[in-house]
């Protein structure tokens, strides 16, 4: 099927992108050692003690994680060549951009369960650890299926186009964790403490083993990652069919998600065009995957440039629009400055009204 056929903007290779990349066992072992080493360093050295992550700490951590991900791309470029390096960077950027929505959902979940700020990093650490394992399974299974059943390229491509249109044309609805059927089953079937017990997911009380609300949060974080992986994994498989490239770009992108959460959790209202930008990217990679079925392979350099350009335009337009909205709101506020002070005071919620972490409500 993949016979050589020159086409405009097509790669010179006559096989799916990345399918001809040969990766040694040493590269796989090295990647595993780096990932495990970074996780251990983060858990037992950098964040050994549970504490609240400040914006400054999150900014520094996010910069370090992004630098590590970009630096590993240079290793791929040096060892496996320019084509592999470009595929890695494209996959990394796609996964990083799609993960922003995941970060905002985390914010809703942690707020719903009233997770103390000093425990948030720990639960997200294990959430990311589980995500790495699940992503590995999805990636290896996805590549194996595409190699054996080439018609699945059409299914994945069409799914990405459909998802992109849906994401780009529909506003984000509110997330309602309390409606999740798995959470409902957990509350009925698993004995759980009424409050958090530090960083413990399980405790033993009166000779009984009980889960803590932190365990419920962890399960919900893993569920959201599975949902988002359904979009992101096919998107990266449209860029590369190399298991190594797809997993490496995915791993380094999600390793820094915790720091990105603490940095961006409060910026959802400012990135007002984010869904439209992500929708355009998903539609593009879906079309790219569909085109590959008919032996038309869009050059990876063009794909990488397009993705970066769309993200840049999305961020710039979002920040400009949010600035205009804030300016208009401020102007409107000055015109209403003579309103009686009692009206504003009457709308303030009771500060003693604290949510129950086992129910997530107030």
> What CA–CA distances, in Å, run from 342 to 280, 339, 348, 350?
47, 9, 10, 15
Coil, helix or strand at residue 72? helix
Q: Which contacts (CB < 8 Å, 24+ apart) does range 134-137 have? A: 134/222, 134/225, 134/226, 134/229, 135/225, 135/229, 135/233, 135/247, 135/250, 135/251, 135/254, 136/247
H/E stretch holding 261: helix 257-264
What pLDDT sits at residue 136?
Answer: 87
Query: Residues 157, 289: contact at Cβ < 8 Å?
Result: yes
| Average pLDDT of the chain to the nearest whole number | 76
The ranges of the chain with pLDDT < 50 are: 1-13, 343-354, 361-362
Cβ-proximal residues to 278 (8 Å cutoff; 6+ apart), any chain: 97, 98, 100, 101, 164, 167, 168, 314
What pLDDT sits at residue 8?
Answer: 39
Query: pLDDT tens for residues 2-35?
Result: 334 333 344 444 566 666 788 899 999 999 999 9
Q: What is the 3-state secondary structure (H, E, C) of 114-158?
A: CCCHHHHHHHHHHHHHHHHHHHHHHHHHHHHHHHHCCCHHHHHHH
Place of tokens 């609805």: 173
């Amino acid at each position: 099927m993949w016979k050589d056929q020159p086409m405009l903007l097509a790669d010179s290779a006559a096989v799916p992108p990345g399918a001809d990349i040969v990766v040694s066992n040493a590269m796989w072992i090295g990647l595993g050692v780096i990932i495990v080493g970074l996780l251990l360093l983060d858990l037992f050295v950098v964040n050994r003690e549970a504490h609240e992550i400040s914006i400054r700490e999150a900014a520094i951590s996010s910069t370090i994680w992004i630098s590590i991900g970009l630096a590993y791309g240079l290793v791929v470029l040096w060892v496996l060549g320019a084509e592999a390096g470009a595929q890695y960077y494209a996959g990394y950027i796609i996964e990083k951009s799609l993960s922003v929505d995941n970060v905002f959902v985390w914010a809703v979940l942690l707020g719903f369960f009233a997770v103390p700020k000093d425990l948030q990093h720990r639960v997200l650490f294990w959430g990311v650890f589980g995500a790495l394992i699940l992503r590995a399974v999805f990636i290896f299974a996805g590549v194996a299926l595409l190699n054996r059943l080439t018609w699945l390229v059409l299914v994945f491509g069409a799914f990405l186009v459909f998802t992109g249109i849906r994401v780009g044309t529909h506003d984000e609805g509110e997330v309602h964790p309390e409606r999740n059927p798995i959470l409902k089953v957990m509350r009925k079937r698993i004995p759980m403490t009424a409050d958090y017990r530090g960083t413990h997911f399980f405790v033993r009380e009166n000779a009984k083993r009980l889960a803590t609300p932190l365990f419920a949060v962890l399960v919900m974080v893993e569920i959201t990652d599975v949902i988002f992986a359904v979009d992101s994994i096919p998107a990266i498989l449209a860029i590369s069919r190399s298991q190594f490239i797809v997993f490496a770009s995915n791993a380094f992108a999600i390793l820094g998600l915790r720091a990105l959460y603490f940095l961006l959790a409060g910026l959802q209202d400012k990135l007002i065009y984010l869904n439209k930008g992500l929708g355009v990217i998903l539609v593009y990679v879906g079309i790219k995957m569909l085109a590959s079925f008919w032996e038309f392979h869009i050059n990876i350099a063009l794909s990488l440039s397009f993705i970066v350009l769309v993200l840049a335009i999305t961020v710039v337009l979002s920040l400009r629009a949010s600035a205009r909205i804030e300016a208009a709101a401020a102007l409107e506020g000055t015109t209403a400055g003579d309103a009686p002070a009692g009206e504003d005071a009457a709308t303030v919620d009771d500060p003693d009204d604290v949510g129950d972490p086992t129910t997530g409500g107030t």
